[in-house]
Structure formats: C-alpha cells, structure tokens
Amino acid sequence: MRIRTGFKDERTAIIGLFTSAFSESEGPEEGRAIGQLAETLLDRTPPQDILVLSAWRDGAITGCIMLTRLTFDGEPREVFLMAPVAVATVWQGQGIGQALISHGIDVLRGRGVDVAVTYGDPAYYARTGFQPVSQEVVPAPLPLSQPEGWQAQSLNDRGLEPMAGRATCVAAFDNRDYW
C-alpha cells in the first residue's frame, strides 16, 4: 500500500471512492451525498485548510481521509476535523483506514496542529487515539445528531483543554445534514 498526499491528479478517483463506499454501506442516497461533499471539499476548500491522504494498491485507490480546518473564536490552537473517511468495500478489514488515520495524525502533528477532531464510531476511532469529548470541551460547529460520536485527541503535550469560542468549519461542512 502506498499513501499519497494531495488530490490534484486523483480527484475523480477520490470522489468515486466516497460515492461507492457510502452507497454500498449506507445506500445510494448517502453515497451521492458523501460523494458530493467530497467534491465540494476538493473544489472549494482553500489549500491551507485541507489535507487529503489516499491509499493506493496496484494503481487503484483503496481508501481516503480528508482533514479540514476548524477554527474557534478567540482560540490560538490549530484544530483539524478528520472527515469523511472511506475504504473501498473490498479492502475493508485490512487495516487501510487505520493506517490512513495514523498517518494523517502524524502529518498533522508534524505540521504543529494542536488538536484533531472526528465524528463517527467511537470504537473505530479509539484505535488511533481518539476519545469521546463533550461539546463543553470542543464545541461542534453545528448541532450534533449523535453527540456520542464527537471525539478528539491532543497532538501535543498540552492535553485536551477546553476550546475558547464558537467553532467554525470549512464551508462544505456548514450544513446540518452532515452533523
């Protein structure tokens, strides 16, 4: 497996992966929605606010994660949201998602990012250091439909101290349907 950073030459493959992975696991409507989200993230997010990591094997994309900036009013710490995350159905259960997430955390840490946040299955993300967190510690940008899925981890030795101010996500995520 080879992990690539960036998306300029892989845009179509990445959108296709998110569409098919979510269609197969959650149904065609969800697949279209997440495929559209991936497309919007890639096309409209400023380069300094997005990091895309994709896994490849034998010339085919097998998985992808996107990390986008979260900002907080009055908060100097740098925070990134890891979402969406997808692994092609035929490659699931082989450690690709966990490898991408671990690599993404390492890249963020290397760039001096202070906190990583995600929104999903606590059992899955706990394997890479995420822990459930309350919105009093890390406010979500929009109301959460499943607050138990809100998770975070400190990427430095400061620990996970409460964030100051209101959270703002990148424009593509500013939609209640994703929360």
Q: Say what the pLDDT of residue 108 is.
A: 98
Whole-angstrom Cα distance, residue 136 to residue 168?
A: 15
Whole-angstrom Cα distance, residue 175 to residue 179?
A: 7
Q: Say what the pLDDT of residue 8 is.
A: 83
Whole-angstrom Cα distance, residue 18 to residue 49?
A: 20
Query: Where does the pLDDT of residue 50 fall: very low under 50, low under 70, confident under 90, or very high at 90 and above?
Result: very high
Q: Which residue has the tokens 């990148």?
A: 170
Nearest to 156 by CA among 114, 103, 128, 101: 114
Tens of pLDDT, residue by residue over 31-44, are 999 999 999 999 99
Q: Say what the pLDDT of residue 158 is.
A: 86
Q: Say what the pLDDT of residue 99 is.
A: 97
Q: Are 71 and 168 in contact (CB under 8 A)?
A: yes
- The arithmetic mean of pLDDT across residues 32-61, rounded, is 97
Tens of pLDDT, residue by residue over 74-98, are 899 999 999 999 999 999 999 999 9
If one looks up domain 2-178 in CATH, what number appears? 3.40.630.30
Q: Say what the pLDDT of residue 7 is.
A: 86
Q: Say what the pLDDT of residue 170 is.
A: 98
Q: Say what the pLDDT of residue 98 is.
A: 96
